[in-house]
């Protein structure tokens, strides 16, 4: 692995702090990112045990945004039309935002965060509150194989991809399809979205890296769709190599060529990205300092896991951002890890008297700008750090 980025000592991105624990020492780890020239994988270099991140206190809920609900709804309709699956598995089903589009008898979820697994169970779905692995895959598919496996923003969170893909392969029927959806490395690099790196995002996949590692398990990508979610993601359609039901689409070749042309096989591209990140940090600090010089207030919008990386890397804390607004019940009243900025409950018109709002959830810019039309019309300003720090 060749290191190209050092984002300093970081706390666990989703470990929001209770007020009574504010004085306790937080667990931190060194967040640095590297490139493997052999398989083109980009990954964080030090990892945190999965149980410390994905447990019964996991705060993130997929159903917290219309963008995600809408994206899952459209994809589900498309899946039914294209594949008409009789048995589906979702790996990392979170609070059931995707599952709810299917018949309860046709789909099962896998979700190791028990609080989320319970939410999905309450919706009436069968959920295995466990980590995805070979043993669980054998249990789920003992009587019938899956026609379709879906996994969004989950496989990039699992270190041992070998176990994962072996388990997927043995679970799929001969005609079976795996649909994987994760932030695209190309978009991350283009947008200088260094906040895609935090403890949970062990990998940020490119098509070239995925193609290479899938090959180890006789799996292959046969189609790719681009989605706008999470700052620009790729939706990969994957099959077993000996499954001849689907032809390999031209879109796969095009995406691979685009990534190679951009330089995703070259270490120099990542070095350049590393320098851009350092510049981005300086510029964001400058913007914030200028605002503070004028005694203007800044609050945050969307206490995302990604914000944790930005705030801690740029040493932004309570003196710069008064508090964050967020809609997630679990986060409200707690404090962001590292920066210890309070998270308050979002309500309509909450930001109307604020001059500057730092957009932690920049990936939902369209949805949020629509919601905050009046704020923007009245001269309110958002601060955003990607593709470069600026005031909108």
Query: For binding to ligand JHZ (CB under 6 A), which residues are involved?
Result: 60, 64-65, 153, 200, 230, 302-306, 326-328, 331, 346, 361, 363-364, 367-368, 371
Phi, psi (degrees; rounded to nearest 5) at 221: -80, 130
CB 101 within 8 A of CB 120: no
By beta-carbon proximity to ligand JHZ, the closer residue of 50 and 292 is 50
Find the radius of gyration of the CA atoms of the chain: 21
Report DSSP letters for 338-366, one per residue.
TT--EEEE--TTTTTT-SEEEETTGGGHH
Closest approach of Cβ 304 to ligand JHZ, in Å?
A: 3
By beta-carbon proximity to ligand JHZ, the closer residue of 106 and 367 is 367
By beta-carbon proximity to ligand JHZ, the closer residue of 90 and 147 is 90
What's the CA gap between 314 and 30, in Å, rounded? 15
Closest approach of Cβ 190 to ligand JHZ, in Å?
A: 18
Strands 356-359 and 381-384: parallel
Phi, psi (degrees; rounded to nearest 5) at 44: -75, 150
What's the CA gap between 75 and 381, in Å, rounded? 34
Give the H or E element holding residue 215. helix 207-215
What's the CA gap between 161 and 156, in Å, rounded? 9
What's the CA gap between 391 and 102, in Å, rounded? 42
Closest approach of Cβ 320 to ligand JHZ, in Å?
A: 19
What's the CA gap between 114 and 112, in Å, rounded? 6
Closest approach of Cβ 326 to ligand JHZ, in Å?
A: 4
Q: ω into residue 387 within 30 of 0, thus cis?
A: yes
Half-sphere exposure of 57 (CA within 13 A, CB side): 13
By beta-carbon proximity to ligand JHZ, the closer residue of 175 and 371 is 371
Closest approach of Cβ 199 to ligand JHZ, in Å?
A: 9
Closest approach of Cβ 180 to ligand JHZ, in Å?
A: 13
Closest approach of Cβ 71 to ligand JHZ, in Å?
A: 11
Closest approach of Cβ 185 to ligand JHZ, in Å?
A: 14
Compute the C-alpha angle 237/264/45, nearest 5°. Answer: 90
By beta-carbon proximity to ligand JHZ, the closer residue of 46 and 275 is 46
By beta-carbon proximity to ligand JHZ, the closer residue of 171 and 309 is 309
By beta-carbon proximity to ligand JHZ, the closer residue of 111 and 326 is 326
By beta-carbon proximity to ligand JHZ, the closer residue of 239 and 331 is 331
Report DSSP state, residue 155. G
- What residues pair up with 181 in beta bridges, in sequence order? 152, 235
Contacts (Cβ under 8 Å, ≥6 apart) of 160: none
């Amino acid at each position: 692995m060749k290191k190209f980025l050092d984002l300093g000592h970081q706390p666990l991105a989703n470990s929001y702090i209770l007020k009574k624990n504010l004085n306790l020492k937080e667990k931190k780890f060194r967040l640095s990112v590297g490139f493997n020239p052999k398989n083109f994988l980009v990954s964080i270099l030090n990892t945190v045990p999965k149980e410390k991140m994905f447990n019964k206190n996991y705060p993130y809920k997929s159903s917290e945004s219309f963008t995600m609900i809408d994206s899952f709804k459209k994809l589900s309709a498309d899946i039914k039309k294209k594949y008409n699956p009789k048995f589906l598995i979702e790996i990392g089903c979170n609070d059931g935002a995707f599952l709810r589009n299917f018949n309860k008898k046709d789909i099962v979820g896998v979700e190791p965060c028990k609080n989320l697994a319970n939410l999905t169970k309450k919706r009436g779905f069968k959920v295995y509150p466990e980590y995805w692995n070979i043993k669980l895959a054998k249990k789920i598919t003992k009587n019938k194989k899956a026609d379709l496996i879906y996994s969004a923003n989950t496989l990039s969170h699992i270190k041992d991809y070998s176990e994962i893909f072996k388990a997927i392969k043995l679970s799929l029927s001969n005609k079976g399809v795996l649909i994987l959806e994760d932030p695209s490395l190309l978009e991350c690099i283009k947008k200088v979205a260094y906040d895609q790196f935090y403890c949970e995002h062990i990998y940020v996949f490119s098509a070239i890296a995925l193609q290479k590692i899938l090959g180890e398990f006789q799996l292959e990508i046969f189609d790719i769709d681009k989605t706008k979610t999470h700052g620009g993601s790729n939706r990969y359609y994957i099959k077993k190599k000996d499954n001849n039901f689907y032809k390999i689409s031209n879109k796969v070749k095009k995406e691979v060529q685009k990534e190679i042309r951009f330089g995703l096989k070259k270490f120099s591209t990542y070095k350049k990205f590393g320098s851009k990140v350092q510049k981005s940090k300086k510029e964001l600090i400058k913007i914030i300092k200028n605002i503070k010089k004028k005694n203007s207030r800044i609050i945050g919008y969307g206490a995302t896991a990604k914000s944790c990386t930005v705030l801690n890397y740029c040493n932004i804390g309570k003196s710069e951002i008064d508090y964050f607004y967020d809609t997630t019940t679990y986060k409200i009243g707690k404090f962001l890890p590292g920066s210890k900025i309070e998270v308050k409950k979002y309500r309509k018109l909450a930001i109307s008297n604020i001059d500057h709002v730092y957009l932690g959830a920049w990936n939902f810019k369209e949805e949020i700008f629509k919601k905050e039309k009046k704020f923007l019309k009245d001269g309110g300003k958002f601060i955003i750090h990607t593709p470069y720090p600026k005031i909108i």
